[in-house]
Amino acid sequence: MNRTRRARRIARHVRLAASHERALAHDLRKIFARAGRAAAAHVAAGQDHLAVAVVAGFEPAIAKALRARLRTAAMASAQLVLEELTGEKAFGVVFEQTGAPALEQKLLSLFDVAERAVVDWLSHHAAEMVQRVSQSLKRLIRGSLKRGKEANEPPRVLARRMRDETGGEIGQRRALVIARTETHTASQVGSEAAANATGLALDKEWGATEDARTRPDHHDADGQTVDKDADFVVGGERCKFPGDASLSAKQRANCRCVTLWVPRIPK
């Protein structure tokens, strides 16, 4: 794959993930604002000890948003990977030359296999994702309480601060980082599910966006190629794909790198 084609492929994946990231960020912002208002009501009533506890009541809404948005993001990425791989010469070992209808039917079958893998991933990891979002929201509320107390604000002023911060710029930024990070992970899960569904002999390559926002460790990992079942090593950490939840926040948050699948062409 030449450099220009490679850069375009990476950009397609980044744009696709970003489109789904915005939808999840919108959902999370609304949840953060509602939770902030509920917490602020307790603060205004002098019940500071109940402010953080309200977050538990919003966990079902968080779970619903994550499941819906991340499944959609993962399957969009899976579809893109299948479309890319069908253009590779190695796909001749999977598809017989029986015409477009047979090819389309095979693609639908592979899509179904990938979707089952994505659903399985969600069922195993949804609870931990909900907890990551829940803990982030709790930290946001605790931060408002701490700043208000340090400023000696009376209950009603502190409550207003909490509403403004959770529903305003601070909460919106937090929701965007969470949405970007979790959507990116889901997209890469979908990518891996699609690649595995093909049954092809594949290598995988770390693809970094070539701009100033890419962190040095990810720039260094760009082009690293391993067997599809092996781990990448980025910044001294091992992972199955960019955005892998096993990575530290330093290597995972706001990542835009993607997995590029490279068929092994028989000689």
Rounded to whole angstroms, the Cα distance separating 213 from 42 reads: 40
H or E element at residue 128: helix 100-150
Q: Is residue 163 in a domain?
A: yes
pLDDT of residue 101: 58
User: Which SS3 state, helix, strand or coil, does residue 168 take?
Assistant: coil
pLDDT tens, position by position, 245-266: 999 999 999 999 999 999 886 5
Residue 92, pLDDT > 80, answer no
Q: Is residue 26 in a domain?
A: yes
Q: Is residue 132 in a domain?
A: yes
Q: Is residue 172 in a domain?
A: yes
Could you list the residue range(s) of the whole structural domain that residue 151 is in? 3-200
Q: Residues for the chain: how many in total?
A: 267
pLDDT of residue 93: 46
Amino acid in position 64: K
Residue 18, pLDDT > 50, answer yes
pLDDT tens, position by position, 189-219: 999 999 999 888 999 999 999 888 999 999 9
Rounded to whole angstroms, the Cα distance separating 59 from 88 reads: 43
For CA atoms 213, 128, 12, 227, the dihedral sign is positive
Residue 134: φ, ψ to 5°: -60, -45
In sequence order, which ranges of 199-258 are alpha helices (DSSP H)?
216-221, 249-252
Rounded to whole angstroms, the Cα distance separating 242 from 15 reads: 16
Q: Is residue 265 in a domain?
A: no
Average the pLDDT over 127-142 and give the result.
Answer: 97
pLDDT tens, position by position, 30-50: 999 999 999 999 999 999 999
Q: Is residue 253 in a domain?
A: no
Cα separation values, 140 from 145, 146, 161, 162, 179, Å: 9, 10, 12, 9, 16
Q: Is residue 183 in a domain?
A: yes
Residue 97, pLDDT > 70, answer no
Residue 87, pLDDT > 70, answer no
Number of domains, the chain? 1
Q: Is residue 143 in a domain?
A: yes
